[in-house]
Amino acid sequence: MPSLSDIKNLFPTKLHAVIFVGYMGLFISQGILITATKDNQNNYPYNPTTLVLLSEFLKFFVSCGLHIKDVGVQSLFQDIIKHSNVLLLYMIPAFLYCLYNNLAFTNLRSYDPTTYFLLLQFRVVITGVIFQVLFNKKLSRTQWFSLILLTIGCIIKHLHLSKETGLPKISFTLNMSLLMILLQIFCSCFAGVYNEYLLKDKGDSAPFMLQNVFMYTDSVICNVLLLSYSGEIYNVFLKKNIDSVLHPIVLTVVLNNGAIGIVTAMFLKSLNSILKTFASALELMFTAILSWIIFGIPVNFMTIVAIGIVSFATLLYAKNPVDNTPKTTGLSKV
């Protein structure tokens, strides 16, 4: 078991711990809420693209509002001009996140959900590699071992035992579909670590909330351009699609998603991408348990094994975590 000093290394202050728990809580809530919005035919009674774009606009307006609260309207425009280079830098993670979200729909047409989520778990190790390159921090053997264990646990979570053989059942071949999902994994990993790099290093000259304004400005632009290119932009703003989102439970999903964006930025600013992978894995496990309690979705043997492995990997990492301290500043700007 990790000692009190181990926990302090992982979460230097109470606020760090609150951000970690809040991040997990919001993502767990999002999974539960989205499941709750499905109808009896397991379909969404709303346009998901409309919901995603509304969420991006919400994140943008919340970030603007919080920054204006601190510095005023006039200073907002002055800061945007002063740090316009940071606005351009955020176009990279914004584009990658946009590409990731759209590749999800493409890849789910090529793979069943189990195979899809299994392959996505390799982003844990890839995140470690990209983290080392961008931050020039070499992970220790213990840290790598905990990451590999975490990957194994997440993979086991998405495996199902074959009724015929009693062995895990999974199949995929090296083809264009696999290359597309590898591209999606790279987008997820590089966008997350690069976002952290901007928050702590390259874009640190700009105030924290202004960086969020830049991120979601670029995100809205990328999503609108991609939807325009695909010819879907008109459908997003159809009255029936707007009306389908204006229901309490669906609006809760939008609000929760907006909160996720801000808390994720706080997480990357004050913690790091490596710890974020552990939070995401723990979120998968808690979601499985809560889905069983709330919706009666059974927890199978593989999930129980996965929970044990992920828990051990988390405890192992807690004994030797990556240093969370940013290069120049910590939580003071959050």
pLDDT score for 334? 40
Least confident residue range of 89-98, 251-260, 324-333: 324-333
**Mean predicted confidence (pLDDT) in 105-119:** 68
Predicted confidence (pLDDT) at residue 92 exceeds the cutoff of 70: yes
- Tell me the per-residue pLDDT of 287-296, one tens digit each, with 9 for 90 and over: 888 888 887 8
Predicted confidence (pLDDT) at residue 225 exceeds the cutoff of 80: yes
pLDDT score for 161? 60
- In this structure, what token pair is assigned to residue 321? 């975590």
**What is the pTM for the complete model shown?**
0.78
Q: What would the 3-class secondary structure string for the chain be? A: CCCHHHHHHHCCCHHHHHHHHHHHHHHHHHHHHHHHCCCCCCCCCCCHHHHHHHHHHHHHHHHHHHHHHHHCHHHHHHHHHHCHHHHHHCHHHHHHHHHHHHHHHHHHHHCCHHHHHHHHCCHHHHHHHHHHHHHCCCCCHHHHHHHHHHHHHHHHHCCEECCCCCCEECCCCCCHHHHHHHHHHHHHHHHHHHHHHHHHHHCCCCCHHHHHHHHHHHHHHHHHHHHHHHCCHHHHCCHHHHHHHCCHHHHHHHHHHHHHHHHHHHHHHHCCHHHHHHHHHHHHHHHHHHHHHHHCCCCCHHHHHHHHHHHHHHHHHHHCCCCCCCCCCCHHHC
With the CA atoms of 88, 326, 331 and 196 taken in that order, what torsion angle do they form, in degrees rounded to the nearest 10?
A: 40
- What's the rounded Cα separation, in Å, for the pair 54 and 256? 12
> pLDDT-derived band of residue 113, with 50, 70 and 90 as boundaries?
low
**Mean predicted confidence (pLDDT) in 269-298:** 84
Q: 119 or 71: whose pLDDT is higher?
A: 71
**Mean predicted confidence (pLDDT) in 122-135:** 88
